[in-house]
Amino acid sequence: MGSPPKPPRRPSTFATFTATLYIFFGTLFFAGSAVVLGWLPARRKIMLWLARRWARGLMLSAGARLSATFEAPLDSTKRYVLLANHQSYMDIPALLPVVPVKVRFAAKRSLFRIPIFGWSLLVGGFIPIDRDDKSKAGQAFQQAASLLADGESVLFFPEGTRSHDGRLGPFARGGFLVALKSGLPIVPVGLRGLRDVQPRGRFAVSPGPVVAAFGTPIDPAAYGVRRREELMRDVRAKIAELADLERSEEAGTSEAPAAIDPAGASV
């Protein structure tokens, strides 16, 4: 059992101002560059490089002091299914600079409709998740499978939405099914400090330390499909430990569609 949620730190006017400026001008620059360079043959490598630079800049502009820990080294030449807790719209910017593998994230489809920024997500090969149309879940599943086949790793937020109270919510099944079908290891990831930087429902930003803690990869083949629920419980418990979070009283799974979970980066 993790620590109970703490009240967020007091916001900083300066950090809020600099982060807001960067979100507009920094995003315009990096997303615009991605769209312009998206026709190049090496676009996937370029898109990831641009996304990581954009993300690091956003964390710096918010005064977030980012660090990462690893229980075991991750091989940059291998593929993984990464599953992380979801507390802030800054979760993806916190992960992009420190994930040591080629990775694409699942994000809610509405982000893909934002001019320039959304176009850069499409060009970059990120996975749109449509929460309102479950019939499209299979498309997201197929895109994730295609990325894995092409040598990329994928990352899901199995809670599906940002935490309301700082506790770890129930998990949807999709990311686990991707791992079981592909046979690739699951890497539990615990994010700490982002709820202090900018919790859900608050515009203001509070500078402070942020830690991305990567757990030891878990082999889904050791569980198999019949023990899927046990796999989900074990991964959820590990993420809670890494993130130092209490788990909600609800069961470990939600009623998300079985094909893939609505595990995007909700903002």
Query: pLDDT of 33-50, one tens digit each?
Result: 999 998 888 888 899 999
Which one, of 47, 160, 57, 32, lies nearest residue 103 by Cα? 47
d(CA 239, CA 245): 8
As a whole number of Å, the end-to-end CA separation of the chain is 27
Which one, of 164, 163, 143, lies nearest residue 154 by Cα? 143
Strands 153-156 and 208-214, bridge-based pairing:
unpaired
Distance of CA 255 to the CA centre of its chain: 20
Question: Which pLDDT belongs to residue 144?
Answer: 87
The tokens for 91 are 């979760």
State the chain's mean pLDDT as an integer.
86
More confident residue, 1 or 29: 29
More confident residue, 7 or 214: 214
Question: Which pLDDT belongs to residue 266?
Answer: 35
Confidence class for position 135, pLDDT limits 50, 70, 90: low
Question: Which pLDDT belongs to residue 209?
Answer: 95
| pLDDT > 90: percent of the chain | 59
Task: Say yes or no to pLDDT of 252 above 80.
Answer: no
Whether the CB-CB separation of 169 and 248 falls below 8 Å is answered with: yes
Question: Which pLDDT belongs to residue 62?
Answer: 96
Question: Which pLDDT belongs to residue 264?
Answer: 37
Average pLDDT over residues 251-259: 42
Task: Say yes or no to pLDDT of 32 above 70.
Answer: yes
CA-to-CA dists, residue 16 to 21, 191, 211, 256, angstroms: 9, 21, 20, 34
Question: Which pLDDT belongs to residue 260?
Answer: 37
The tokens for 197 are 């930087």
DSSP 8-state symbol, 10: P
What sign does the CA torsion over 43, 44, 49, 55 have? Answer: positive
